[in-house]
């Protein structure tokens, strides 16, 4: 089994739920786990990983992985919202995965709402993490295509096309397919023409 994994997908594809379930199953089998979440992610709780389906697990909250290392008896580390950490933090995980028997499971987003890859997510690809795509469908009513992108909306329902890459919270986000992203973000329809 590879020691460094990246489970990625759009918002609402059950990343956090799968993390909690994975930790529960490992602990039940006698394999000690540690759950980590970034300090910036305080949407639902300060010190827990919470899934929208109602399950949660206690987590260690860190701003950075600098200076952190897993306990000696830890078998698996599960990290939620990995995209909020830095590439340097990912390099720390690489060293742990390569030099200890600890399995590292990262969960998070690949790209932001402006179709740009997050630096930590890019670093996971660069260092050869085993990739696991978690799938869900487009949140535009009636569409059953694979959700691959995010759209961010302001309070008036207009698409936001610039600003900070990291904006915590999902009340103004939708996970959408590539076609709806191109239509609503770029103004490009099925014929490939259009404007914003």
Q: How far apart are CA 33 and CA 166, in angstroms?
A: 28
Q: What does the buried/exposed string (b/e) look like for 89-105 if buried means 16 or more CB atoms within 10 Å of the residue's CB?
A: bbebbbebbeeeebbbb
- Residue 44 φ then ψ, to 5°: -110, -25
Could you give the angle at the alpha carbon of 108 between the alpha carbons of 24 and 130, nearest 5°?
80
Active-site residue among 34, 46, 81, 115?
Answer: 81
pLDDT in tens, 25-52: 999 999 999 999 999 876 666 788 988 8
Give per-residue pLDDT as tens, 55-86: 989 999 999 999 999 999 999 999 999 999 99
CATH superfamily, domain 4-133, is: P-loop containing nucleotide triphosphate hydrolases (3.40.50.300)
CA dist 26 to 33, 75, 183, Å? Answer: 7, 9, 43
81 is catalytic: yes
The pLDDT score that the predictor gives to residue 42 is: 64
- Predicted confidence (pLDDT) at residue 14 exceeds the cutoff of 70: yes
Beta 103-108 vs 76-79: how paired, if at all?
parallel
Going by pLDDT thresholds of 50, 70 and 90, the confidence category of residue 2 is confident
Q: Residue 103: name the closest of 67, 125, 79, 126 by CA.
A: 79
In this predicted structure, the answer to whether residue 191 has a pLDDT above a threshold of 90 is no
Q: Pick the residue with more confidence: 170 or 87?
A: 87
Give residue limits of the domains in the chain: 4-133
Percent share of the chain, pLDDT over 70 = 89
pTM here?
0.87
Largest CA distance in the chain: 58
């Amino acid at each position: 089994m590879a020691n460094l994994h990246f489970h990625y997908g759009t918002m609402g594809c059950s990343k956090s739920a799968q993390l909690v379930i994975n930790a529960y199953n490992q602990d039940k089998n006698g394999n000690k786990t540690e759950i980590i979440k970034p300090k910036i992610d305080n949407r639902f709780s300060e010190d827990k990983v919470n899934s929208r389906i109602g399950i949660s697990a206690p987590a260690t909250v860190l701003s950075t992985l600098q200076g952190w290392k897993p306990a000696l008896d830890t078998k698996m580390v599960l990290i939620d919202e990995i995209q909020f950490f830095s590439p340097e933090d990912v390099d720390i995980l690489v060293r742990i995965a390569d030099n200890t028997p600890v399995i590292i499971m990262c969960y998070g987003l690949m790209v932001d709402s402006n179709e740009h890859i997050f630096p930590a997510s890019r670093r996971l690809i660069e260092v050869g993490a085993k990739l696991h795509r978690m799938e869900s469908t487009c949140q535009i009513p009636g569409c059953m295509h694979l959700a691959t992108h995010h759209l961010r909306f302001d309070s008036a329902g207009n698409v936001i096309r610039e600003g900070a890459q990291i904006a915590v919270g999902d009340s103004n986000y939708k996970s959408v397919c590539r076609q709806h992203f191109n239509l609503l973000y770029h103004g490009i329809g099925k014929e490939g023409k259009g404007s914003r």
